Amino acid sequence: SAVISQKPSRDICQRGTSLTIQCQVDSQVTMMFWYRQQPGQSLTLIATANQGSEATYESGFVIDKFPISRPNLTFSTLTVSNMSPEDSSIYLCSVAEERAYEQYFGPGTRLTVT
C-alpha cells in the first residue's frame, strides 16, 4: 500500500485565519480524498481531489471554505479558510486506485482553532 504523509501533523490557529494542509503520497495514485473527523465523531468526506480540475465537494462543504488543489498524482492540499472554533477537527487525506477499491489513509492533521 502507498505511504502517505501529511503536514503539519498538528497546529493551533487563531479564529479568522487560514491553514493549508499538505498530503504527499510516495507513488502515483488515481484518487485522493479529504475527510474531517470532529472530536468523538466518525469520518465525514469533505471532497474528492481531482487532478487538473476542480474538486468535487460533498453536501455541506463548499469551495470557498475548503479550497483544494491537486497539481499532480502524488500531492494535494486542503485549505481551511476563515477558521472558527467549529473547524477544530482532525483532517485526513486518503488515496485509492480505481481498480483496487481499498482506500488508505494518512496520519491526519489535528487542528485546534482558538
Partner 1 sequence: EDQVTQSPEALRLQEGESSSLNCSYTVSGLRGLFWYRQDPGKGPEFLFTLYSAGEEKEKERLKATLTKKESFLHITAPKPEDSATYLCAHRGSTLGRLYFGRGTQLTVWP
Is 2 a binding residue for partner 1 by CB under 8 A? The answer is: no
State whether residue 72 is helix, strand or coil. Answer: strand
Is 44 a binding residue for partner 1 by CB under 8 A? The answer is: yes
> From start to end of 14-97, where are the E strands?
19-25, 31-37, 43-49, 56-57, 68-72, 75-80, 89-96
From the list 40, 6, 50, 42, the residue with the least C-alpha distance to 24 is 6
Least separation in angstroms between CB 40 and partner 1: 9
Least separation in angstroms between CB 81 and partner 1: 23
Q: What is the CA radius of gyration of the chain?
A: 13
For residue 95 the three cell numbers come to 488515496
∠ at Cα 102 (99, 108), nearest 5°?
130
- Choose which of 22, 24, 48, 79 interacts with partner 1 (CB under 8 A): 48
Is 73 a binding residue for partner 1 by CB under 8 A? The answer is: no
Is 104 a binding residue for partner 1 by CB under 8 A? The answer is: yes
Least separation in angstroms between CB 84 and partner 1: 23
Choose one: 11-19, 36-44, 65-73, 81-89; the region binding partner 1 (CB under 8 A). Answer: 36-44
Is 16 a binding residue for partner 1 by CB under 8 A? The answer is: no
